């Protein structure tokens, strides 16, 4: 059977008020495919019937350019591309009758619809049954498991007005919860996120948050945390993305790894230490060893900030092999600097050097000298981009 495809060339209508509706099939008995308004150019639309119905309604005020679209006809032999849901993934690419594809939502989202849909053919019409699902950020829920994401309802869309959403987070017995804020924006003074240190709103209040200041991370004193979001009847914002992780009682939170470094120490309990080392070519900035101590707030925390591994501007290099990096590598080097690297090996060895990766601007030069200072013989002078010299 023949089917129709629509391709938009121009689309410009008054948001919400001037609407183009598209039905797959007739208006009565067909499937509403799209309700379009605003100025974003819509993606192509495909029918599964051999008709498409369009209805354009406009209000009394404000007119815009409108729309221009092309239609084309093709023969259906398989189902349409079922698409990829926003904030979710699809597995399966086959679209023959009887084939199915499976959908999954990203962390923090729940599936609306069913996760498995099947390509169906009835009287020469090819369609997915049931309709492909969507992924949405729910209004509240009971969360268990060692870690997870908590999103404001409809995130990343602005949250709806007049909502009351409650989340209860429960982790392993004898563990506590760390809540960190990746994104936070609520209407100041009218929309709130209240966080309680326990299973419900009768537990001690840890804080009530609103506005756009991203709160500091929050730690619970037991294995449950209760969060209540309240929005009033007007003005919304983007909402929040919170991440929770569980942690054994009486230990510090996972301090993470270092870029271009390694860590020794996996026990994060009070009194234990972790020590960082940098890979060849990098030097450590800060103190390499962190100790888990009891903080002033009665909660375990690391006694120092995490160090960093940075590629220095010059230095003394020795040993039988090693790596020399431009300052700040793999980031760009800073301008107007001269960095002197001196590479010495025990007597009776010669230095063999090879550039694994080389990229400079045309006026930036690397000079290699044969000897201990810049007054020695220049072996090579390089700029531009090279590999394996």
Ligand X SMILES: *[C@@H]1O[C@H](CO)[C@@H](O)[C@H](O)[C@H]1NC(C)=O
Q: Which residues bind Ca ion (CB under 5 A)?
A: 187, 190-191, 231-232, 235
Taking CB under 6 A as the rule, which mask of x and - marks residues 15-54 in contact with ligand X? ----------------------------------------
Which residues, 165 to 204, sit near ligand X by CB under 6 A? 168
The span from the CA of 297 to the CA of 303, in Å, is: 13
- At 248, which helix (H) or strand (E)? strand 239-248
117 binds, among Ca ion, ligand X, none (CB under 5 to 8 A by kind): none
Name which position in 30, 38, 113, 140 contacts ligand X (CB under 6 A): 140
260 is an interface residue for ligand X by CB under 6 A: yes
Q: How far apart are the first and last CA of the chain?
A: 63
Residue whose CB is less far from ligand X, 53 or 260:
260
Work out whether 156 is an interface residue with ligand X (CB under 6 A): yes
Let me know: does 17 contact 61? Beta carbons within 8 Å.
Answer: yes
> Which tokens go with 339?
């960095």
CA distance 277 to 263: 6
Nearer to ligand X, 158 or 281 (CB): 281
Phi, psi dihedrals of residue 308, rounded to the nearest 5°: -130, 150
Beta-bridged to residue 244, according to DSSP, are: 148, 179
Relative to beta strand 164-170, strand 141-143 is: parallel
Instruction: Give the one entry of ligand X, Ca ion, none that residue 191 binds, where binding means its C-beta sits below a cut-off of 5 to 8 angstroms depending on kind.
Output: Ca ion
Please state the separation of Cα 357 from the chain's center in Å: 30
Q: Of 162, 169, 175, 172, which Cα lies nearest the Cα of 140?
A: 169
- Cβ proximity to ligand X: between 3 and 168 the closer is 168
Residue nearest to Ca ion (CB): 187
Decide: is 153 part of the binding site for ligand X (CB under 6 A): no
Are 167 and 150 in contact by the 8 Å Cβ rule? The answer is: yes
Which of 19-27, 34-42, 244-252, 327-335 is the region at the interface with ligand X (rule: CB under 6 A)?
327-335
Number of residues that bind ligand X (CB under 6 A): 17
**187 or 197, CB closer to Ca ion?**
187
Q: Is 241 in the site for ligand X (CB under 6 A)?
A: yes
* Closer Cβ to ligand X, 235 or 385, answer by number: 385
**218 and 179 Cβ atoms separated by less than 8 Å:** yes
Q: Taking contact as CB under 6 A, which single stretch among the options 17-25, 53-61, 328-336, 370-378 is the one that binds ligand X?
A: 328-336
One residue of 55, 62, 86, 112 binding ligand X per CB under 6 A: 86
Q: Which of these, 306, 313, 171, lies nearest to 248 by C-alpha position? A: 171
CA angle 83, 85, 90 (to 5 degrees): 70
Q: How far does CA 85 lie from the centroid of its chain?
A: 16
197 binds, among Ca ion, ligand X, none (CB under 5 to 8 A by kind): none
Considering beta carbons, is residue 170 or 247 the nearer one to ligand X? Answer: 170
CA distance 135 to 75: 31
100 to 129, contacts with ligand X by CB under 6 A?
108
**Interaction partner, residue 91 (Ca ion, ligand X, none; CB < 5-8 Å by kind):** none
Contact positions vs ligand X (CB under 6 A): 86-87, 108, 140-142, 151, 156, 168, 241, 259-260, 281, 325, 330-332
């Amino acid at each position: 059977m023949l089917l129709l495809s629509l391709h938009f060339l121009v689309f410009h209508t008054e948001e919400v008020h001037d609407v183009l509706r598209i039905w797959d099939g007739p208006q009565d008995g067909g499937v509403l495919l799209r309700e379009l308004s605003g100025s974003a150019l819509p993606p192509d639309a495909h029918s599964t019937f051999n008709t498409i119905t369009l209805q354009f309604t406009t209000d009394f005020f404000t007119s815009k350019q409108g729309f221009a679209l092309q239609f084309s006809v093709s023969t259906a032999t398989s189902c349409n591309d079922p698409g990829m849901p926003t904030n979710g993934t699809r597995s399966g690419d086959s679209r023959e009758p009887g084939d199915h594809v499976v959908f999954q939502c990203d962390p923090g989202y729940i599936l609306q619809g069913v996760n498995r849909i099947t390509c169906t053919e009835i009287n020469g019409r090819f369609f997915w049954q049931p309709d492909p699902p969507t992924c949405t950020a729910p209004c509240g829920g009971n969360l268990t498991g060692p870690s997870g994401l908590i999103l404001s309802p409809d995130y990343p869309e602005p949250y709806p007005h007049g909502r009351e959403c409650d989340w209860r987070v429960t982790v392993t017995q004898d563990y506590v919860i760390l809540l960190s804020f990746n994104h936070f924006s609520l209407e100041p003074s009218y929309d709130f996120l209240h966080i309680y240190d326990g299973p419900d709103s009768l537990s001690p209040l840890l804080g009530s948050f609103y506005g756009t200041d991203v709160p500091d991370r929050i730690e619970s004193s037991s294995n449950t945390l209760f969060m209540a979001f309240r929005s009033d009847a007007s003005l919304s914002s983007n909402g929040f993305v919170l991440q929770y992780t569980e942690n054994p009682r009486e230990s510090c939170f996972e301090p993470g790894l270092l870029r271009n470094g390694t860590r020794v120490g996996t026990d994060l309990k009070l009194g234990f230490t972790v020590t960082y080392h940098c890979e060849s070519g990098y030097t450590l900035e800060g103190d390499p060893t962190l100790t888990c101590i009891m903080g002033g707030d009665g909660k375990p925390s690391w006694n120092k900030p995490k160090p960093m591994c940075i590629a220095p501007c010059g230095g003394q290099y020795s040993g039988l092999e090693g790596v020399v990096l431009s300052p700040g590598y793999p980031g760009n080097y800073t301008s107007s600097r001269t960095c002197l690297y001196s590479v010495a090996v025990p007597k009776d060895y010669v230095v063999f050097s090879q550039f694994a990766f080389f990229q400079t601007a045309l006026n930036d030069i690397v000079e290699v000298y044969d000897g201990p200072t810049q007054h020695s013989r220049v072996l090579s002078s390089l700029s531009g981009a090279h590999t394996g010299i």
